[in-house]
Amino acid sequence: MSDDVIHMLKLFPLFRDLSNEELQLIKSLLRFKKYKKGTHIFMQEEPLSCIYFIKQGRVKIYKNDINGRVQIVNILTQGEMFPHQGFFRHSHYPANAEAMDELELFSLPITSFESLLSEKPTLSVKLIYILGNLIVDLQNRLEEQILHNSFEQIVMLLLRLGEKHGIPSHDDWIIINQPFSNQELANMIGSSRETVSRTLSQLKKQQAIKKEETGLLSIQSDKLDQLLFVE
């Protein structure tokens, strides 16, 4: 691996404030691997052996319910790490991880990662902050499913994707800079593809969303906010 790895590591919030000497140590522990689209990085309940850092591509984290239906837990992109639990417990992977595109990852053996956390308290604090944000996100999503109908859940999902993946465009439009199929959107909230398709068509008529020539979705956050509780 070239010295570009040091620059890449600084893009991860967990490693951002480390010295070059500390980053060189982490670099020496990393392993690089490419995955083809559709390949699984790990499966749920396999022994947790590594922590992964995304250099390029997207990773789908998902679970299957007892009926075999897919529930997408998260879509992760460049600069993110996974999984987010199981440290210091000799645990198992909490979900499945699948490459959504041609994927490039760095992996760090879990024993090495745990040693780093023990030796570098600042890393532990950053990890707690990252995990805290994830817990808040999961709580918000659970609240959405309990308290809101399908229309509202889809609107909230679009707002959340716009916040995470959005790029400002013209006239207050925000482009969601990641491609998502209607089925993937449905799997994120435990809905059906038909319900998502019907709701997206309704939102297009209300000029709250539109599809770009690239196939990406654009949203008007203000309009979605106004429609949130008016179906």
DSSP 189-220: HT--HHHHHHHHHHHHHTTSEEE-TTS-EEE-
Confidence of residue 1 (pLDDT cuts 50, 70, 90): very low
Q: Could you tell me which residues come within 8 angstroms of residue 52 by beta carbon, excluding any fewer than 6 positions away?
A: 41, 59, 81, 82, 83, 97, 105, 106, 107, 108
Write down the domain spans for the chain: 4-131, 145-227
Best-predicted range by mean pLDDT among 1-15, 134-148, 214-228?
A: 214-228
CA distance 182 to 146: 22
Report the candidate in 42, 33, 96 with the shortest Cα–Cα distance to residue 64.
96
pLDDT band at 229, cuts 50/70/90? Answer: low
Structure tokens at 158: 């679009």
- Alpha helix stretches (DSSP H) within 31-120: 110-119
**CATH dotted code for 4-131:** 2.60.120.10
Q: pLDDT tens digits, residue range 21-49?
A: 888 888 888 999 999 999 999 999 999 99
Q: Which of 202, 162, 196 is nearest to 181 (CA)?
A: 196
Instruction: Assign a CATH topology to domain 145-227.
Output: Arc Repressor Mutant, subunit A (1.10.10)
Reported in sequence order, the residue ranges of the chain that DSSP labels E, i.e. its strands, are 31-35, 40-42, 50-56, 59-64, 70-76, 81-82, 96-99, 103-109, 166-168, 174-176, 209-211, 217-219
For the stretch 98-146, pLDDT in tens is 999 999 999 988 888 888 888 888 888 887 887 787 778 777 777 777 7
Quick: pLDDT tens for 56-110. 999 999 998 777 788 888 899 988 889 877 666 778 898 999 999 999 999 988 8
Distances (CA, A) of 24 to 18, 28, 114, 126: 10, 6, 17, 19
Report the 10 Å Cβ neighbour count for 81.
20
What local confidence, expressed as pLDDT, does residue 13 receive? 79
Q: Residues 154-182: pLDDT tens digits?
A: 999 999 999 988 999 888 899 999 899 99
